[in-house]
Amino acid sequence: MNLILLGAPGAGKGTQAAILAKELNIPTISTGNILRAAVASGSELGKQAKACMESGALVSDEIIIGIIRDRLAEPDCANGYILDGVPRTIPQAEALEENGIKFDHVVSMEIADKTILERMSGRRVCPKCGASYHITAVPPKKEGVCDECGSELITRKDDAPETVKSRLAVYHKETEPLKEFYRSRGVLVQVEDQGSVEATSAAILKVLKE
Ligand code: AMP
């Protein structure tokens, strides 16, 4: 099964992708996590992406298309995958189509900007494995420590309130038109945020089984 999780920054795509990946036994591919790892390692890719990411702007389509093409060619993607945070623009979606990649479902996670702004201040992420937490909604077992790999959790620089506002503006302008793109291909499903991680994943799994 090939899936896309679409939604504003902070909608909970990473959290839901991790749950769905376990449930469906397919990998999650997050361009945000791949880019953050590149920035942390100081690679050429990381150097190119760093400033865009910190300001809340999008990294160029060319870079993203290259990353995703390489990643989808890896063997663990053979039985399907969940894309988290990609495609984010119409040219990225077109590039996937041009490579013959089709999606069974594109799940648009619907949530008000106001709720996102309230939530983002509590988000913590693992700089090593990319797992994401929330200090009250999805706390790690031990405060400040990743359940998956034991690394110290951090606050993302781009989760500062002013940056979140500009990331939301970028989402509405560049990414939201993808809903129409995938609706016209008959694969869009919209799932309202249910207020808790468990209720939202149950709602997503329900529509995937319909
Ligand atoms: P995310 O973790 O998905 O919120 O991504 C963090 C940041 O990485 C974004 O604000 C962008 O700067 C960059 N990024 C991640 N995925 C993409 C993408 N598909 N297209 C462009 N930029 C991206």
Identify the pLDDT of residue 202. 97
In the block, which residue shows the tokens 């309202």?
192
Residue type, 21: A
Residues 59-69: tens digit of each pLDDT? 999 999 999 99
User: How close is the Cα of 32 to the center of ligand 1, in Å?
Assistant: 5
Q: What is the pTM of this model?
A: 0.91
Catalytic amino acids? 13, 88, 123, 156, 167
Return the half-sphere exposure (C-beta side, CA atoms, 13 A cut-off) of residue 155.
12
Around ligand 1, the residues with Cβ closer than 6 Å are: 9, 31-32, 35, 52-53, 56-59, 64, 85-86, 88, 92, 158, 167
- Per DSSP (E only), the strands in the chain are 2-7, 28-30, 81-84, 105-110, 123-125, 132-134, 188-192
User: How close is the Cα of 210 to the center of ligand 1, in Å?
Assistant: 30
Q: Which atom of ligand 1 is nearest to the CA of 88?
A: 19
Give the whole-angstrom CA distance, residue 37 versus residue 131.
12
The separation between CA 184 and the C-alpha centre of its own chain, rounded to angstroms, equals 22
Residues 169-199: tens digit of each pLDDT? 999 999 999 999 999 999 999 999 999 999 9
